Structure 1
Amino acid sequence: MGLKPAIWVVIVIGLSACRSTGSKSGQNPLMKQYKDPATLAPPEPEDPSKVPLTLWSPSQRRATASYYFMAAEFAALKERDAKKALQLFEAAYSLDPTPFLGGKVLAARASSGDRSEALVDARKMVLLYPREAQLRYLYGDLLASEGKSDEAILQLEKCVELDPRHEAAYLELTELYQNNKQVYKAIVVAKELTKNVPSSVSGWSQLGRLYLSNSQYKEALTPARRAWEMQSSNPQLTQIYAVTLQLNGKLKQAVRIYEQLYHFDPTDEELTGRMIELYRELGNMESAVELLDEMIKQGGQAKPAVQMQKAILLWELKKDKEAAALLDKLVLEYPESDRVKYLAAFAHERMDHTDQALALYDQIRANSPLRLDADVRSFLLMSKAKKSGESLFNLGQKLLADPQLTWEAYGVIAGVYGDLGKHEDAVNAADAGYKRYPDKPRLLFIKGVYQEKIGDRDGCIKTMREVIKVDPENSSAFNFLGYLFAEKGENLEEAEKLIQTALKLKPKDGFYLDSLGWLYYQRGDYKKAQATLEEAVKIEPNEGVIYEHLGDAKKALGQKEAAKSLYQRALKGNLEEPDRLRIEKKVKAGD
């Protein structure tokens, strides 16, 4: 409605010009009489592209072209009729062939869906008006839309050369360079834009984004701030500035900007999450909880999600009891929510309320996406609480049958089976996991460990060699295989190479030094063994077998009392049952 008076004035001027050029009737010969000019829908000529020869006066042609131009703008903007607008723009251009009207024809042709013909016309227009920046821009834009980025870049570069203040051309150039993975060139163009058009909010914003995408966080600060200062009420620009401050470690400033942004939309969960992360980095978790309390007051569908987030923050504040109470209340309010039950179960798990946690995990529906996770948590809980071995084993078998089981869970199940003494089942679990996840050699290593425990020494050696082949950085595999040989006094030369490789990968590892010390013992180099094992026991002071090995070295050097003392100390350390029985015999033998 606001455009009608202006358009009508131009039409009246055009009609007046027609009357002044000698039309006796005072009417444009290309127009039919229409009744209501206020409707801005005057009828068009039968064929606007055919202009009568009687319109020889330049002023009359320009005036009539103005009429067609305004009618075309009306068709494009008000009626949304691109084809009708194109026909009228073409009529205007045929009467007054200016670069401006030529550009309008190109834009209308592209909008009407005939982009290929628009591209042909654009090429002609650029040849006809080589110094018209806007035509270069339109041509470049059409080329870009057709995927011809290199040609588009040439035209857009020419455009900004002709018109150094052409903002749209600069912006499109930056996007094309960025898409071509030429971020440096995109940054250069964006800097030129901000230099030539310092009032360009889009230019400063784009420069900041480009620096961020290129991990140039320090350089992004100034453009991000300039864009924000120009439009501080723009949520998007505010967020970019806040993120930039955060990435530069200016956390307190970032919090203030985020808080400003929060007032735009206090229900924005993503923004709240960012603010919580900032509070966490600042160590101000109480403020994070207050922020969530504000969101809870807002209500709405996000309320349970916000309360769950609050429970997580309470855990970080070591307020486990308060978190559990909040989640228990949520379980009553939202009994159908499996996620609420899962978090409530985890809350009780943190407080060692094993039975309550297991009961809540058990309530999660069989078809829930959280069912598998709940079973894994239950499996770990039952193992920790030393629940019935049979029920634990059966749950493990159920988990192994699930095709969505993670590779970490395969390793956990193998470990629990090992603790239950079901070493063969542990081998099978790890083997199944490695077949499912062949890019996880850790599972292959676990398989080898349990192969050794079931007495399959040859299988273990083969498996460990395979681990070393697929994962040459796996220090544990080098050490395990080296110790396997050293323990039996076999292949000692290869064993030393293997253990030394493990120590290169992980220097000063107490277990690896124990392996090396035991290898020296097997060679009969007891002094070297003693020195190495003394270093190992300093690093791992709670490992019983290392004390045993050091005792053996002392005994071989004739230090029987020292050896006995070390055996007794070994019994106080971490030991598996077979090791304990063996060391007890050594203590008795020394009496």
Structure 2
Amino acid sequence: MNVFRPLSALSAILLAGSCVSGPSESDLRNALFSNGRPAEAQAYGDFLVARFAAMTNDPETAAEYYAAAIDTAPEKSGIAERAVFSALLAGDYETAVGLARRASQVGSEATLVRLTLGVDAMVRGKEDEATPYLDETKYGPFNEVIARGLSAWRIADSDGADAAEAYLRSGLSGDANLDSATLYMMGLLQMAEKDDASALATFETLWESGARLAVGVHAHAQLLMANGQRDRALEILQVFRDEIGQNAGLDGLSADIMAGRKIKPTRLSTREGAALAVYVPAAALMMQTDDDLSGVYFVLALALDPNLQVARSLWGQSLDNAGRREEAVAVLSRIPDKSEFYATARGQMAWALRREGRNQEAIAVAGEALQHSPDRGLKIQLADLFRSLDRDDEAEHLLSEVIAEDAAAGRQDWRVIYARGTTLEQTDRWPQAESDLKTALALQPENASILNYLGYAYIDRGLNYDAALNMISRAVELEPQSGYIVDSLGWAHYRMGRYELATRFLERAVELSPGVSLLNDHLGDAYWQMGRKTEARFQWQRALKLDPSPEDRARIEAKMTSGPEAMLLKKAESETQSALPVARQN
């Protein structure tokens, strides 16, 4: 009974409060906890709240409560570093700087604390104050690259470009792939000091090594133009587009060159160069992760150069990747309409809204941006939006516009042609779809996705079995770990009546991609044809649990009752035949 007495007493207080005017919530809290509560308890409570906020994607609250725990926590420096990290993750640079100073005062020498203080010194034009914070020997490999780049621009400002270049050279390993970030900084420094011959040689070395960084390629093309090498400049811009994809800055430069506009090499200031020293590794980090960690560095880069809109664009993308889509939209909306990244940002915003299920808002954002700026990339993004919403006719119209514009400019983009081909195939316009898919394949003969899609489309229509089988087999050779492509090979053998061979490939496909309804469905069909009807029904049951489309669900449920040969199944398959190849887009 004694165990329950405190609870009974508290209940009596609360019940009494319902009848008469009692103490306020704050009075009650003080009465219960103010006497003899150690400061460590408050710190621990703040720490737990901060940790929970960090785990639930609320870095702003995390920073607030970590900051509250700094003064009272027994272990101050670790808490301080978490506070700095959370503030940067929340995009609050000024708060992060204040917390970094507090962290330094309590003895923290954590990486992010020192990096933030070093950046802040350079933001304030106090490069000499940045020196102790940017000692690269105290950083791990990733942050060492950033510290070295920042230090190079600091040294160039105080001791001259030759000293900065010597400093960068001292850190080279001799492997262009490992040294790419450092070499890009060197080229940009040389360019800033108008040593264009050396800068061009540096960028050529990077290009030949296979390095493909948009910022560096932009500078490289500018220098080639200044050196009278127009064709070479257009060549590297086109290679970047073919190998890496579209980039608003590079597309704008290419358009200016084609239009005959005068191209002047960009000469970076110390702060602009320092911003790129942070941005370049951060961009590489973002491409390798699916979270918002890189946003910490984009915030630092933008503190150095608020006009580095490409950093804002990638910051928005990192927020979207992490599911922080409201924040992503807010960040992307700050990119001005005069920026070359405006259209890209509006396309990103539209997709963030689409992923939140706000489909009409997404289309409105993209549509308004397209009216403002008939950007090629934005048309492609809007077409993709329409395709994701099954508005294929509108998607096809936009893709056709882009293809016509490309043809007028004397170029072909296999990605756009392939996208239109798949869109036409989905809407049963097979002759036109086949033409586009074959054109895309001619442009990219070793592209597994195109080989797989065209081959599957043939098989699904009972056409060109031998050629289709060869296409899909080659796609499997190119991407043997793709469940979708291996499934295509199995399904090709199934449609050709080779059920035992089909079963082997379809089992492998499900091993590679067990959570895909269509693949489990196909394996069930193969088991049925092999006489393994219990296993077939098990696979169909599994397919039903993996969120198939309503049409696929009806088709699978029909098979559960009567097997693949049922007339009901044939009717359902006829109605949904064009929907099946959607999953072929590996």
Q: What TM-score comes out, normalization by structure 1 length?
A: 0.45
**Which fold has the larger relative contact order, with Cα–Cα distance below 8 Å and residues 6 or more apart in sequence?**
2
* Structure having the higher Rg: 1
